[in-house]
């Protein structure tokens, strides 16, 4: 029986068994490594596992802790029915029990007074504050007052008729103008000022009441129209009245143009022929407008009534007698000559036709 090495390998080859056993050993080693890694992963979280969704972590052991009980209430402590301390009073309604009454709506914090409001005291003007006005568009404003009267240094009052709704700054400017400019003017005339004629103050409208025009300063409560000033002696100084003294109106012109940023009167446009417009409009580079022509007084015309009868003239009855005699003599002469003019015959006298004028 002949055996060769190639035949032996072909018949009794163990390469297949060796490869299968090697694969089994490799699988066993891999499974062991995987189990070991998982065991280690349970102890330490994965570095990229941010939300802890990977391998679960072992729970720590819960140790029971003894909670200390509160001490007994002392006898001298106040009862629970007593008033709550101030800290508890300030708590919100959410901390109160549900069976308590519904709490009122929290009040909005009070608005702090402006510097103008603090300066405009009752010694300067009677001007109570009013709520802010939020009208259509940009109408309205903040820090508003109702200017009712201006208090003079001698405690007398100049009434604003009717009361004007203005911003505090505008009301303060009007009060300073009356106290520092108009009072000396009235004193130079030997009297004092009592009333200020308010023609218009706050009104939500366009300029000159034109529809679609730019918002007027009246709509911002930043303007006042003045028509006249009344004095204690009953005299009324009309600022646009040409019969008023030219010097007085000139002094008023210089005073308002020095205090207000806009002054409109006669000569500016036909909307301001019967009053003076004053406002504190803010413009670029502090630009001011002063358009008010103080017209000269109107020329005097002859009176409609006849002049007074001179003292040396004769009485009216005596002066009228000669005229009556002359009239009577004339009537008699006409009657005597009337029959001679009548025709002697019964036929009607021929009368020439009057000449007709040509129409143009």
3-state secondary structure the chain: CCCCHHHHHHHCCCHHHHHHHHHHHHHHHHHHHHHHHHHHHHHCCCCCCCCCCCCCCCCCCCCCCCCCCCCCCCCCCCCCCCCCCHHHHCCCHHHCCCCCCCCCCCCCCCCCCCHHHHHCCCCCEECCEECCEECCCCCEECCEEEEEEEECCCCCEEEEEEEEEEEHHHHHHHHHHHHHHHHHHHHHCCCCEEEEEEEECCCCCEHHHCCCCCECHHHHCCEEEEEEEEECCCCEEECCCCCCCHHHHHHHHHHHHHHCCEEECCCCCHHHCCCEEEECCCCHHHCCEEECCCCCCCCCCCCCCCCCCCCCCCCHHHHHHHHHHHHHHHHHHHHHHHHHHCCCCCCCCCCCCCCCCCCC
**Full-prediction pTM beyond 0.85?**
no
* Confidence (pLDDT) at 355: 53
Instruction: Give 191-221 pLDDT, tens digit per residue.
Output: 999 999 999 999 999 888 888 889 999 999 9
Q: Above 80 in pLDDT, residue 305? A: no
Assess whether pLDDT exceeds 70 at residue 223: yes
Most confident of 58-67, 70-79, 169-178, 303-312: 169-178
What would the pLDDT profile of 79-94 be if each residue is shown by its tens digit? 655 544 545 444 444 4
Mean pLDDT of the chain: 77
Mean pLDDT of the 266-289 span:
93
Which band of pLDDT confidence, cut at 50, 70 and 90, is reported for residue 97? very low
CA distance 266 to 259: 19
What is the spatial distance between Cα 71 and Cα 4, in angstroms, rounded to a whole number?
103
Q: Is the pLDDT of residue 235 over 50?
A: yes
Q: What is the mean pLDDT of the segment spanning 293-300? A: 83
**What is the distance between the alpha carbons of residues 288 and 281, in angstroms, rounded to a whole number?**
9
The more confident residue out of 297 and 187 is 187
pLDDT band at 100 (very low <50, low <70, confident <90, very high): very low
Mean pLDDT throughout 308-331? 68
Mean pLDDT of 227-251: 93
Statement: residue 152 has pLDDT above 50: yes
Rounded distance, CA 252 to CA 196, Å? 13
Q: Taking CA 290 as the corner, what is the angle to CA 181 and CA 248, rounded to the nearest 5 degrees?
A: 40
Q: Supply the pLDDT for residue 30.
A: 76
Residue 106 pLDDT grade (very low, low, confident, very high; cuts 50, 70, 90): very low
pLDDT confidence tier of residue 104, bands split at 50, 70 and 90? very low
317, pLDDT greater than 90: no
CB half-sphere exposure, 285, CA atoms < 13 A: 2
User: Bigger pLDDT: 48 or 124?
Assistant: 124
Read off the pLDDT of residues 42-73 as tens digits, 9 standing for 90 and up.
Answer: 555 555 555 555 555 555 555 556 677 778 87
């Amino acid at each position: 029986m002949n055996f060769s090495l190639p035949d032996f390998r072909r018949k009794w080859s163990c390469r297949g068994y060796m490869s299968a056993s090697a694969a089994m050993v490799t699988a066993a080693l891999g499974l062991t490594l995987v189990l070991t890694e998982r065991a280690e992963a349970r102890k330490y979280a994965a570095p990229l596992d941010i939300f802890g969704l990977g391998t679960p972590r072992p729970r720590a052991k819960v140790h029971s802790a003894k909670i200390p009980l509160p001490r007994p209430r002392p006898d001298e402590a106040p009862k629970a029915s007593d008033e709550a301390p101030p800290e508890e009073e300030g708590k919100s309604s959410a901390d109160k029990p549900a069976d308590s009454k519904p709490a009122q709506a929290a009040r909005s914090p009070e608005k702090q007074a402006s510097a103008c409001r603090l300066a405009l005291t009752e010694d300067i003007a009677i001007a109570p504050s009013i709520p802010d006005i939020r009208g259509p568009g940009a109408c309205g404003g903040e820090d508003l007052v109702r200017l009712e009267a201006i208090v003079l240094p001698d405690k007398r009052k100049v009434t604003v008729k009717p009361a004007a709704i203005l911003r505090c700054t505008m009301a303060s400017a009007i009060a300073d103008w009356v106290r520092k400019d108009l009072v000396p003017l009235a004193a130079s005339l030997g009297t004092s000022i009592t009333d200020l004629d308010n023609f218009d103050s706050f009104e939500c409208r366009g300029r000159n009441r034109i529809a679609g025009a730019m918002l007027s300063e009246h709509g911002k409560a930043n303007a006042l129209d003045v028509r006249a000033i009344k004095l204690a002696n009953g005299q009324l100084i009309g600022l646009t009245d040409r019969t008023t003294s030219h010097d007085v109106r000139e002094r008023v012109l210089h005073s308002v143009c020095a205090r207000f940023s806009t002054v409109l009167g006669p000569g500016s446009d036909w909307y301001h022929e019967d009053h003076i417009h004053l406002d504190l409009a803010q413009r670029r580079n502090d630009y001011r407008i002063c358009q008010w022509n103080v017209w000269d007084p109107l020329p005097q015309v002859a009176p409609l009534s006849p002049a007074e009868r001179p003292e040396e003239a004769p009485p009216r009855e005596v002066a009228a007698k000669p005229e009556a005699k002359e009239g009577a003599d004339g009537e008699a002469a006409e009657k005597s000559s009337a029959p001679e003019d009548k025709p002697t015959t019964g036929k009607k006298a021929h009368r020439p036709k009057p000449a007709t004028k040509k129409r143009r």
